[in-house]
């Protein structure tokens, strides 16, 4: 969805350049230059955009539900680790970039969804995603959000990143997380409480072409991902008037479960051992969250998360 909107915005920008409105394109490029750092400085959210009626229908299509398991004190800052990435990241967008799901359940907290910096280089599109509450996934951006002195800020990071989307097959429970410890270090440096979040149903929205590790397709996808910074999963789902083939996601319910916070004491210079210890605790809490709720959302008892 974001890719389609980005392509439309870029196409509109090209039309401005090639048409009789090139001066508007020049003015926008000047604005882009002056505003370049905003995605790393909290963005520019709009409650009007986040409350568009279209997002209500978007959430109801699947439908998307946000499940609260514990209170999050707005006097603290939080780092929410979102799992899994899936193809669409629908649960993250529907719950953290639209109102009122998160706002109603966690009053006093403002969520910021961190996405790849490359998206903020797209003309006009960057204005839309910032208005929805998305900011850069750079260290500078995460630090800005978590440095809020009065608390009340929540950084939402899709821990597995784009690489994890290549594992987004129906029924897959594989998470790319064992080597991802940067978010742990950021939580320690800012004293932000860690909160595991698991989105049941995220991998069921599309069917992806078989790409087991070691296959030629997976090798090509991983190479392209390293070059471009984002993955290219080959997926399909349903059409507008038929259910056999298309790019519209299947209507599968998504239940995004927000776990209990892991208290984190600020440590400006954490050691590797301290980072590893907190990372291990986070994995333990994430697995516990999954096990406690999997039976509610159709996951067989013998299925468990796989960390790699």
3-state helix, strand, coil in the chain (%, to 5): 45, 15, 40
What residue numbers bound the domain in which 218 lies?
A: 40-307
Identify whether 25 is part of a domain. Answer: no
Identify whether 62 is part of a domain. Answer: yes
Instruction: State residue 145's pLDDT score.
Output: 98
Long-range pairs of 45-48 with CB within 8 A, sequence gap ≥ 24: 45/130, 45/131, 45/132, 45/133, 46/131, 46/132, 47/99
Return the higher-pLDDT residue of 237 and 3: 237
What are 205's two structure tokens? 């929205």
Instruction: State residue 113's pLDDT score.
Output: 98
Instruction: State residue 10's pLDDT score.
Output: 66
Say if residue 9's pLDDT is above 90. Answer: no
Q: At 267, which helix (H) or strand (E)?
A: none
Instruction: State residue 23's pLDDT score.
Output: 79
Angle at 101 between CA 248 and CA 59, to 5 degrees: 15
The mean-pLDDT minimum among 14-18, 104-108, 127-131 falls in 14-18
Give the residue-averaged pLDDT of 280-303.
97
Burial class (CB in 10 A: 0-12, 13-18, 19+), 38: middle
How far, rounded to the nearest angstrom, does the alpha carbon of residue 118 sit from its chain's CA centroid?
A: 14
Identify whether 9 is part of a domain. Answer: no
Task: Give the DSSP per-residue string, 204-228.
Answer: GS-EE----TTSHHHHHHHHHHHHH
Give Dmax over CA atoms of the chain in angstroms.
63
The mean-pLDDT minimum among 25-34, 60-69, 112-121, 209-218 falls in 25-34
Instruction: State residue 120's pLDDT score.
Output: 92
Say if residue 220's pLDDT is above 60. Answer: yes
- Residue matched to tokens 């096990």: 291
- Residue matched to tokens 């409350």: 51
How far, rounded to the nearest angstrom, does the alpha carbon of residue 245 sit from its chain's CA centroid?
A: 26
Instruction: State residue 8's pLDDT score.
Output: 66
Instruction: State residue 198's pLDDT score.
Output: 98
Identify whether 15 is part of a domain. Answer: no
Q: Is the pTM here over 0.85, yes or no?
A: yes
The chain-wide mean pLDDT, for the chain, equals 92
Say if residue 13's pLDDT is above 80. Answer: no
| Residue 219: CATH number of its domain | 3.40.1130
Instruction: State residue 7's pLDDT score.
Output: 59
Instruction: State residue 25's pLDDT score.
Output: 80
Identify whether 171 is part of a domain. Answer: yes
CA distances from 288 to 75, 177, 196, 274, 284 (A): 26, 16, 10, 21, 6
Residue 203 has what DSSP assignment? G
Q: What percent of the chain has pLDDT over 90?
A: 78
Say if residue 283's pLDDT is above 80. Answer: yes
Identify whether 187 is part of a domain. Answer: yes
Strands 78-83 and 153-158, by their bridges, are parallel
What are 176's two structure tokens? 């790319």
Q: What percent of the chain has pLDDT over 70?
A: 96
Give the residue-averaged pLDDT of 266-291.
98
Say if residue 169's pLDDT is above 90. Answer: yes
- Residue matched to tokens 């440590």: 267
Say if residue 57's pLDDT is above 60. Answer: yes
Identify whether 108 is part of a domain. Answer: yes
Q: How many domains does the chain have?
A: 1
Distance between CA atoms of residues 198 and 266, nearest Å: 25
What are 209's two structure tokens? 């072409």
Kindly report whether the peptide bond that precedes residue 8 is cis, defined as omega within 30 degrees of 0: no
Distance between CA atoms of residues 43 and 252, nearest Å: 31
Say if residue 304's pLDDT is above 80. Answer: yes
Identify whether 7 is part of a domain. Answer: no
């Amino acid at each position: 969805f974001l890719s389609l909107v980005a392509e439309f915005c870029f196409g509109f920008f090209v039309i401005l350049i090639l048409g009789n409105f090139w001066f508007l394109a020049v003015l926008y490029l000047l604005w882009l230059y002056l505003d370049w750092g905003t995605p790393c400085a909290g963005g520019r959210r709009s409650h009007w955009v986040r409350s568009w009626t279209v997002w209500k229908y978007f959430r109801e299509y699947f439908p998307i539900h946000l499940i609260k398991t514990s209170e999050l004190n707005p006097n603290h800052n939080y780092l929410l680790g979102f799992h899994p990435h899936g193809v669409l990241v629908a649960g993250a967008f529907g719950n953290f970039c639209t109102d009122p799901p998160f706002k109603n359940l966690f009053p006093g907290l403002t969520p910021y969804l961190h996405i790849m910096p490359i998206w903020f280089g797209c003309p006009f599109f960057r204005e839309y995603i910032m208005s929805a509450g998305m900011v850069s996934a750079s260290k500078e951006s995460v630090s800005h959000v978590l440095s809020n002195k009065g608390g009340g800020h929540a950084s939402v990071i899709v821990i597995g990143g784009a690489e994890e989307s290549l594992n987004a097959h129906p029924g897959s429970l594989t998470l790319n997380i064992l080597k991802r410890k940067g978010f742990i270090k950021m939580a320690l440096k800012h004293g932000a409480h860690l909160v595991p979040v698991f989105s049941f149903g995220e991998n069921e929205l599309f069917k992806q072409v078989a790409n087991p590790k070691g296959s030629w397709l997976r090798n090509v996808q991983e190479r392209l991902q390293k070059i471009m910074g984002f993955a290219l999963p080959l997926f399909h789902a349903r059409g507008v008037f038929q259910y056999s083939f298309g790019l519209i996601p299947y209507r599968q319910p998504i239940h995004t479960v927000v776990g209990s916070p892991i208290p984190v004491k600020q440590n400006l210079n954490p050691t590797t051992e301290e980072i590893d210890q907190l990372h291990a605790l986070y994995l333990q809490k994430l697995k516990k969250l999954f096990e406690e709720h999997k039976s509610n959302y159709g996951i067989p008892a013998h299925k468990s998360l796989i960390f790699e």
